[in-house]
Amino acid sequence: MADLRTYIADVKTRPGTPIEELPPIAPYVVYTYPCDGAVPCDDPFQPFYLEPPEPTCEPDCPVAGDGPSPDFDRNREELESYPLDALRMMGTLEKGEQFWAILRGPDSIIHRVQVGNYIGQNHGKITDITEDRVALLEIVPDGRGGWEERDAQLALAE
């Protein structure tokens, strides 16, 4: 313990070294953004929206409302809340001429569907069920304000 006290006394008797001066602080330069008639003054606190481009179309372009459209008045079925790629076909059931497909949702719940049921988020109506696939017809936006039909299918999971 005496060693420690001697060391502390020795350190206290040493002359201190001078502290270096701090470098000068540069003043903050405020930048004022130009705002005149040539440069628009947008509010930085408003969200920036891109206007969608107007569709350019030939004179024979289909008008919105022509062609197929989904039935928005019908009651939606449970499997319409899942994207089609989240559903898996697990097998089929057959009784006489009636076929049912067994589908598993992303929540691992098993569902039985038949021709005429709707699945997927694109208004997909089941048109055919075979032992290895479920065929459906989806109604998707065509990008011009209308709708178009698209074939899709779910294959049996291996």
State in words which class domain 77-158 has: mainly beta
Q: What is the pLDDT of residues 131-149, one digit of tens each?
A: 999 999 999 998 888 899 9
Q: What is the pLDDT of residues 48-61, one digit of tens each?
A: 666 666 666 655 55
Positive or negative: CA dihedral 124, 120, 136, 153:
positive
User: Tokens 């075979």, residue?
Assistant: 130
Measure the CA–CA gap between 16 and 121, rounded to whole angstroms.
Answer: 77
User: Tokens 């459906």, residue?
Assistant: 136
Query: What number of other Cβ atoms are within 10 A of residue 52's Cβ?
Result: 6
Burial 85-102 (b: 16+ CB within 10 A, else e): eebbbeebeeeeeebbbb
Ordered by start, the domain boundaries in the chain are 77-158
Q: Distance of CA 36 to CAs 14, 42, 44, 49, 58, Å?
A: 66, 11, 16, 22, 40
DSSP code of 127? E
- Which of 26-35, 77-86, 94-103 is predicted with the least confidence, judged by mean pLDDT? 26-35
Measure the CA–CA gap between 113 and 103, rounded to whole angstroms.
Answer: 7
